[in-house]
Amino acid sequence: MARIAFLGTGLMGTGMAGRLIDAGHDIHVYNRTSARAQPLVERGATLASTPAKAATDADAIFAMVGDDIASRALWTGPDGVLSQELKPGTLAIECSTLSHDWVIELSEQTKEAGLDYLDCPVTGLPEAAANGLLTLFLGGEQTTIDKAMPLLEPLSSNQMYFGPIGSGSAYKLIVNLMGSIQIAAAAEGLITAERAGLDLDLVAKALASGGCGSPQVARNAALMVEGEHEKDVLFSTKWRLKDTDYGFKYAKKLGLNPAIGKATLNAFQGAMDDGYAASAETKVIDALRKRLPEN
């Protein structure tokens, strides 16, 4: 049994921490809004008032939060993990989708503190997190991965090793930018089909089973046709814009100027500007409807 700090108990973090509880580990949780951690406390976790307290004497520290700002607060804030001395060799497993620059900076800071950093962004919906069916994109030393694997296996059905620290996040940013492009393209396609007078339910089914029917297109096209963008939101416009922005900036960092990525970034920024931050990412179809000219 390991003593584990789990920082961030949103939709994804709750499922992941729950898997570690079920595996028999001693879980200490922290969430900025403590009430959101209560379901885990009821399952046996210990609630900590700060990230530092959660990480005290930990064998491993997991983080699963929304963006660089939240990650910085957890790790380097006044009451953050790195505000105290930790056991040398403690695993620092960052599962959040973060900018590449921050991943590299954070990995250096944790190394200076004597921790073993693992770049470990994930893919999968909250249901997959709760059932241990995530895919992990790993970047780090092989010895660190080997040490972490007993803790990673309850969380995931697939672990993909991309290379040194930063490479797991590099892949995650690439695939998330592609996913954003696919969602925006599906929205434009449905608007076109709407103007053509086609049956949108049939169009969504055809898209899901056709040559361009990626999981993103299949899931989100159907949700766009339903039009219930405020119901059971699994991934909001705010977070889709963040992922698109991080992916676009990483491509720019590599010397690229991705025009399709930029257009997609503008599409989700438009949805944000229209006040759809908390709506599902599928709400981008309404933002595009406003902006696509009639003629």
147 is catalytic: no
Helix, strand, coil percent values for the chain (each to nearest 5): 55, 15, 30
Name which of 127, 233, 239 is nearest 179 in CA terms: 239
Q: Which of 87, 111, 172, 242 is catalytic?
A: 172
Kindly report each contact of residues 274-278 with a partner whose C-beta sits within 8 Å and lies 24 or more positions away, as own/partner: 276/229, 276/237, 277/236, 277/237, 277/238, 278/230, 278/233, 278/236, 278/237, 278/238
Name the token pair of 33: 């809004």
Give helix then strand counts, H and E, for the chain.
13, 9
Question: What is the amino acid identity at position 227?
Answer: G
Burial class (CB in 10 A: 0-12, 13-18, 19+), 271: buried
Catalytic residues: 172
